[in-house]
Structures are given as C-alpha cells and as structure tokens.
Amino acid sequence: MSMRSAILTFSAFLLGLVACSEPTAFTSTWKAPDAQVVSAAGKKVVAVFVSRDESQRRAAEDAMAAALTARGAQGVPGYTLLPGYHGGDPEAARARLKEAGASGVVVMRVVGKEQQVTYTPGSPAYYGGFNRYWGYSWGAAYDPGYLRTDTLVSVETLVYSLERGELLWASTSRTTNPKDINTLVNTVADADSKEMVKQGLLAH
C-alpha cells in the first residue's frame, strides 16, 4: 500500500468514528425559579416518552427507566402504569401516577429531525518553490474532499413534580447521529442529569 493510500484509509477510518458519535448539545434549558435541590435517591420516578408508535414508546421508556435507576431513583416505564395512553385527561393520568407512589415524572419527546451535509475540501501538498510545485502538481492532481451527512435529532425533556403538579426543569437538546432509540435516550438522559446537577437542581 502506498503512503497516499494509507493516509486515505486512515482518514476514512477517522471520519467513520466521527460520524458514529452521539454528541448532545443544549439549545435551551429552563429551571423553575423557586425549585429546590432534589435528590432522586430511592424515589419512584416515571419515565414517559411521547410517541404514537407503541413499540418505540416502550423501548424508549425502558431505556429512560433504566437510566433513572442507574442514577439512584426507582425508574418506572410509563406504559406499565398508563398502557396505550395517548393523551386524554391529565388529572386522571396524574392521579394514576400518584396512586402508584410516584413523586415525579420525566417526559421526553422528539421535536425535530434534520439532515446536515458538510463538505470538507481536500488538502493540497505544499512545496517551497513555485516552479518545482507547479510542474509536479499538474502531474499528480488529487482532491481527497468528501461530503458527510449527519442526522440531527432534537429532543424536549420536561421534569415534573407530581406532588406540586408543576414543571421543575426543561431542556431542548440536539443529538448527532444517534444509532437507535436507546442510544438517543441514554445520551440525552446523561446530558440532562449532568446539566441539572450543574444548575443546582439535582443532588450529586
């Protein structure tokens, strides 16, 4: 394999790593002005993923509940308490969740999905003398530029206190190239929890 081929192969490998990553960035966050520090340890928190696709909802709520449990709470998938629920009476839903002993609910909803195409131009070889470079460059012209398409998924996360019936925290985030619903939920949940700790809402 020539040096140029080796460089191109390695560059393609690095590009693949970048394309498979799932970085999440916040586009907005909000915290209730009177919200006190909350400890999730031992508390039952219901995970709700808003989707009319029941299989997607269940997969997402299982992942959300697992993420909540991993952070010290007792995560409960919403479909186990509100099976087949797609809206309806909010008071009845809240009463059912409180009856189950839940103190809070985390709601996630996909609010946008878009494709972003990025072009990266090739990098020319540089030589000290114009004459020497000019003659060589036209005989070995090559442009390793490439196009990359990224999928950006925007997710809204809302954290409610069932005891108060009020919103405690909200965020809108954007995740790049999530490979599946579980990856999306876990990536967003991790970013959300870190941000809530940073903002003084969630105890360490």
Q: Report yes or no: 47 and 64 within 8 Å, Cβ to Cβ.
A: yes
Token code pair at residue 103: 């103190």
Asked if the 22-198 domain carries CATH number 3.30.1370, the reply is no
Closest to 40 (Cα-Cα) out of 157, 173, 171, 159? 159
pLDDT at residue 136 in the model: 65
pLDDT at residue 5 in the model: 38
pLDDT at residue 88 in the model: 77
d(CA 11, CA 19) in angstroms, rounded, equals: 12
Q: Report yes or no: 35 and 26 within 8 Å, Cβ to Cβ.
A: no
- pTM (2 decimals)? 0.77
pLDDT at residue 18 in the model: 40
Residue 11, CA atoms < 13 Å, CB-side half-sphere: 13
pLDDT at residue 120 in the model: 74
Dihedral sign, Cα of residue 49, residue 112, residue 16, residue 189: negative
pLDDT at residue 119 in the model: 78
Query: What's the chain's Rg over C-alpha atoms?
Result: 24
CA 194 to chain centre: 13
Residue reference for tokens 């991790």: 190
pLDDT at residue 6 in the model: 33
- Please report, in tens digits, the pLDDT of each residue of the chain (204 residues total): 443 333 333 333 333 434 445 689 999 999 999 998 989 899 999 999 999 899 999 999 999 999 999 999 999 999 999 988 777 788 889 999 999 999 999 999 999 999 998 877 665 555 566 776 676 666 655 556 678 899 999 999 999 999 888 999 999 999 999 999 999 999 999 999 999 999 999 987
CA 6 to chain centre: 34
Token code pair at residue 72: 């010290």
Q: Report yes or no: 162 and 38 within 8 Å, Cβ to Cβ.
A: no
d(CA 110, CA 188) in angstroms, rounded, equals: 11
Characterize the bridge pairing of strands 146-161 and 104-120. Answer: antiparallel
Closest to 178 (Cα-Cα) out of 63, 93, 86? 63
pLDDT at residue 84 in the model: 82
Residue reference for tokens 């140029």: 4
pLDDT at residue 9 in the model: 35
